[in-house]
Amino acid sequence: MSANLRKRILSAVVLGTIFLVLVFFKPISLTLAFLLMAAVAVFEFHRMMNAIHKAKFEWHHVLSLSLVVVLFILSFVLGHFNNHGWMLLSLAALLFTLLRSFWFEDYNLKRAFGDLTGMIYIGVPIALLIIMAIHPEKSGGFNPHIVLIILLLIWANDICAYFVGKRFGKRKLAPKISPNKTWEGFFGGAAGSILTALILSVIYAKPIIILFGLVIAIVGPIGDLVESSLKRRSGIKDSANTIPGHGGVLDRFDAFIFSIPFVFIVWMMFWV
């Protein structure tokens, strides 16, 4: 076993265990875990935007964006459950992202709209995921299993796509964006997520999970391609080195983040 593979396995086991403990412990720990994920992901997205616009990296930009995305998610979640006036605060957070362009001399509207895109691209899915996990009626106040279900479906899709693509892949899926992805891998990943969804639907006695599997089979790979496109445009191999041996949060959770809004729609319509 290579040293890099050992590092990948060790970091996956250690960080994965810590992450799942936080998710399953209490609603507050789940919320804090995903707020941290969002803050780091926004930092990585901002780093790619900087590379695309050939801009200098500044910590004050990163810190302010990370704080704003946390504010945006919290106000979005509170607005969903309580007074809708909180939603105004989430809109104010988005507006602040644009107004920053007038406060920093080395900033401009192009970068501001790039950061705004990142705020929505990352903040909205994480807020929706927290809502699903702590919804008072649909989730009984705390249901971390919804997070685990989505993660397992994404991982099944990724793993099956990788091995089927590596063994049988011939027809390129999107050669200009991600040359290693193939149609064979896509269908292998789809089969993996749907089969896993069937198993989980029996374990949890929730047929709706099969719909989750179908949704993730389609939109999960699109999420991968979106991030691959950003990395290709920015000339960056990995979004960051946040997770040893795995790259950044966006490298590991791109399909997860991208799939959440689509899963949320199905969940709102059919989860009982």
Element containing residue 66 per DSSP (H, E): helix 59-81
pLDDT at 162 over 60: yes
Domain identity same for 132 and 185: no
pLDDT value for 192: 96
pLDDT value for 236: 78
**Domain end marker among 92, 118, 141:** 141
pLDDT value for 184: 92
Q: Is 18 part of a structural domain of the chain? A: no
Domain identity same for 96 and 152: no
**Domain end marker among 106, 141, 176:** 141
- Please state the domain count of the chain: 2
pLDDT tens-digit map of 30-86? 999 999 999 999 888 888 887 887 777 777 777 778 888 888 888 888 877 776 677
Q: Is 4 part of a structural domain of the chain? A: no
- State which residues form the domain around 107: 27-141
3-state DSSP of 171-195: CEEECCCEEEEEHHHHHHHHHHHHH
pLDDT at 1 over 60: no
Q: What is the mean pLDDT of residues 11-28?
A: 86
Strand partners, 207: none
Mean pLDDT of the chain: 85
**Domain end marker among 141, 173, 192:** 141
Domain identity same for 89 and 162: no
Q: What is the mean pLDDT of residues 10-38?
A: 88
Domain identity same for 260 and 148: yes
Domain identity same for 170 and 116: no
Q: Which stretch, 16-25, 112-121, 209-218, has highest mean pLDDT?
A: 209-218
Domain identity same for 135 and 78: yes
Domain identity same for 150 and 248: yes
Q: Is 54 part of a structural domain of the chain? A: yes
pLDDT value for 177: 86
Helix axes of 27-52 and 59-81: crossing angle, nearest 10 degrees: 140
pLDDT value for 258: 94
Torsion angles phi and psi, residue 210, rounded to 5: -60, -40
Q: What percent of the chain has pLDDT over 70?
A: 89
pLDDT tens-digit map of 128-144? 999 999 988 877 788 99
Domain identity same for 180 and 268: yes
More confident position, 239 or 23: 23
Domain identity same for 219 and 106: no
Tokens describing residue 117: 């895109």
pLDDT tens-digit map of 185-237? 999 999 999 999 999 999 999 999 999 999 999 999 999 999 888 888 877 77
Q: Is 17 part of a structural domain of the chain? A: no
pLDDT tens-digit map of 241-265? 777 656 778 888 989 999 999 999 9
Q: Which band of pLDDT confidence, cut at 50, 70 and 90, is reported for residue 3? A: low
Domain identity same for 80 and 48: yes
pLDDT value for 209: 96
Q: Is 1 part of a structural domain of the chain? A: no
The alpha carbon of residue 190 and the mean position of all alpha carbons in its chain are separated, in whole angstroms, by: 19
Domain identity same for 179 and 68: no
pLDDT value for 256: 93
pLDDT value for 33: 93
